[in-house]
Amino acid sequence: MEISGRTRVCCVIGDPIEHTLSPLMHNAAFKHLKLDLVYVAFRVRKEELENAVKGMCSLGIHGLNVTMPHKNAIIKYLDEVDSTAKFIGSVNTVLNNDGKLMGFNTDGLGALKALKENQVHLDGKKLLLLGAGGAARAIAFQLASEVEEIRILNRDGEKAKQLAKALREKFNRKIVGDTLSASNIKEQLKDADILVNATSVGMHPNSEQTLVNREWLKPNMAVMDIVYNPVETRLLRDAKSVGAKVVYGTEMLVFQGAASFEIWFNRPAPVEVMRKAVLRSINEVNVSVEGAS
C-alpha cells in the first residue's frame, strides 16, 4: 500500500516484540479492505511504558495491542478499562477515542469465538481448564456464563483456587480450582466435555511436551490449545488421533485479533484473510527455524 500524509497508524507494544504475528494479521486485513492504515510493532521497555502511552496520544495512534510485559501495568495509564479487562487484570487492546484511552481484553472473546466457530457446543458442558495465568483468566471469565461447570488446574494450585473463588462470586456456576497433577488431570478428564490447555506447555521449541496422556482423551470431547506455534501441538495431535474435535490455538489468536479490529473500527473483521496471514507466517517461521538448525 501507499503510505501518505493521511495514513493512520495502529501498533503493538511489548518486550520482546519481534516475533509478534499481529502486524502481519492486521496489515493483511487493512490491505484486503483497502483501508489507509498501517500496523507496526514497537519494542517498549518497562520503564518507558508511561511515555509510550503518552506518545500514543500525542501521535494520534488509533489502536494499540499490548503484550508482555505491559498487559497489567498499562491499566493505570488508561482513562477507562472495561469490566472484563478489569476482572482479568490485563489489557490487550486500547482504543484511542479522540484522546481518551479505553482498555479492553479480547483474549476470552477470541477463545469463545474459536470454540463456537468450530462448532463446539458449550451449553450444559463441563470444561477442564489447565492454567491460571492471564490467558486462562480471560478464557475462564468469558466461558463461565456459557458452560455448566469449570474445573481449573494449575501448577501453582493457590492461583487456581483464587481464580475459581473470584469466578464463583460473579457467576452462578460450579467452578473449582486445584493443583495440577497427572492424577488430577486423568481424574477430571473422565467427565469433562471440553479441555482447554491455557498453559505454555507444548510451545516451540518444546513442542513434544504435553500435560495430558493420550489415553485419557476421549473421542466425544473437544480439545483446544492456546499454544499456536506449532499449529498442531502434541496435545492436539493426540486428541485428533483418538477422534476428539480439535480447535487450534491459531483460531484463538485470529479471533482475539478480529475482536481488537472490531473495537477499533466498529466493523466486521475479515477473519479468513487474517487466518491465512497467520498460518502462512507460522509455516514460514518454522521453515526458517528448522533451516537454521
CA pseudo-torsion sign 267, 141, 228, 223: negative
Burial class (CB in 10 A: 0-12, 13-18, 19+), 291: exposed
CA pseudo-torsion sign 212, 214, 215, 217: positive
Least CB distance from residue 197 to ligand ATR, whole Å?
9
Least CB distance from residue 68 to ligand ATR, whole Å?
7
Between CA 121 and CA 195 the distance in angstroms is 13
Peptide bond into 16 cis (omega under 30): yes
- From the list 71, 113, 125, 159, the catalytic residue is 71
Contact flag: residue 154 with ligand ATR (CB under 6 A): yes
Stretch that binds ligand ATR, among 2-10, 197-205, 249-257, 270-278 (CB under 6 A): 197-205
User: Based on CB atoms, which residue is closest to ligand ATR, 29 or 282?
Assistant: 282
User: 218 catalytic, yes or no?
Assistant: no
SS3 content of the chain, % helix, strand, coil (to 5): 45, 20, 35
Contact flag: residue 181 with ligand ATR (CB under 6 A): no
Phi and psi torsions of 285, nearest 5° = -60, -45
Least CB distance from residue 118 to ligand ATR, whole Å?
21
Least CB distance from residue 222 to ligand ATR, whole Å?
20
Of positions 37, 53, 201, 246, contacts ligand ATR by CB under 6 A: 201
Least CB distance from residue 253 to ligand ATR, whole Å?
12
Contact flag: residue 200 with ligand ATR (CB under 6 A): yes
Between CA 293 and CA 284 the distance in angstroms is 15
Name 270's Cβ contacts closer than 8 Å, sequence gap at least 6.
Answer: 28, 29, 32, 33
Q: Which of residues 124-153 bind ligand ATR (CB under 6 A)?
A: 131-136
Strands 63-66 and 93-97: antiparallel
Contact flag: residue 55 with ligand ATR (CB under 6 A): no
Stretch that binds ligand ATR, among 58-66, 92-100, 154-162, 283-291 (CB under 6 A): 154-162
What residues make contact with ligand ATR under the rule CB under 6 A? Answer: 131-136, 154-156, 159, 180, 199-201
Catalytic residues: 71
